């Protein structure tokens, strides 16, 4: 909904997540299979991606159906691949992207356009899933959940 003269105006139906940038609003479908950009007009949205999608505080990301590639939506309205080396990816609320390496032993972090991925550590076992959000970064093995403390390689 959009507020105009103290009136709420509906912009969209349900979504898994919405991302507000300085210039637009993006929506992720409830099944996370598509990303949309609001056209600044009522409930009109433009489809910009039709596979797995996610978002951070001011960025929209899409993960390929095989889960190995992640791209970001650029200001010039294009998808830019930022990695094709991961097993699984997660995006936190600040727009940082975390990826489990293909062998599951390492987690890498990406946060700045044009900068390389940074290894933030691994564990003795194999990570199976990764989650990120306001509370932090978490990685799961087949029988444990680990929290990253945000410095060095501490899990």
For the record, the structure tokens of 103 come out as: 């062998």
C-alpha distance from residue 13 to each of 28, 59, 111, 120, 129 (Å) = 11, 21, 30, 37, 29
The pLDDT value given to residue 148 = 86
Full-prediction pTM beyond 0.75? Answer: no
pLDDT tens per residue, range 89-148 = 888 877 788 999 888 889 999 887 778 888 887 776 789 888 887 778 889 998 889 888
* Residue partners of 5: CB distance under 8 A and separation at least 6: none
The pLDDT value given to residue 61 = 81
The one-character DSSP state at 65 is T
Give the pLDDT band of residue 34 (cuts 50, 70, 90). Answer: confident
The pLDDT value given to residue 149 = 73
Helix, strand, coil share of the chain (percent; to 5) = 0, 50, 50
The pLDDT value given to residue 62 = 80
Which of 126, 138, 134, 46 is CA-nearest to residue 98?
Answer: 138
Q: What fold, for 85-155? A: Thrombin, subunit H (2.40.10)
pLDDT tens per residue, range 5-32 = 667 778 888 888 787 776 778 888 888 7
Domain extents for the chain?
Answer: 1-72, 85-155
Beta pairing, strands 45-49 & 35-38: antiparallel
The one-character DSSP state at 42 is T
The pLDDT value given to residue 53 = 62
């Amino acid at each position: 909904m959009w507020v105009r003269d103290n009136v709420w105006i509906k912009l969209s139906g349900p979504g898994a997540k919405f991302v507000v940038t300085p210039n637009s609003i993006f929506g992720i479908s409830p099944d996370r299979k598509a990303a949309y950009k609001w056209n600044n007009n009522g409930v009109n949205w433009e489809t910009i991606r039709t596979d797995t999608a996610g978002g951070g505080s001011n960025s929209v990301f899409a993960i390929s159906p095989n889960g190995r590639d992640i791209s970001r939506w650029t200001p010039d309205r294009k998808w830019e691949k930022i990695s094709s080396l991961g097993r699984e990816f997660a995006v936190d609320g600040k727009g940082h992207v975390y990826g489990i390496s293909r062998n599951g032993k390492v987690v890498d972090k990406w946060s700045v356009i044009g900068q390389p991925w940074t290894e933030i550590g691994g564990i003795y076992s194999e990570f199976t899933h990764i989650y990120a959000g306001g509370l932090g970064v978490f990685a799961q093995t087949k029988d444990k959940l680990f929290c990253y403390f945000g410095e060095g390689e501490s899990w």
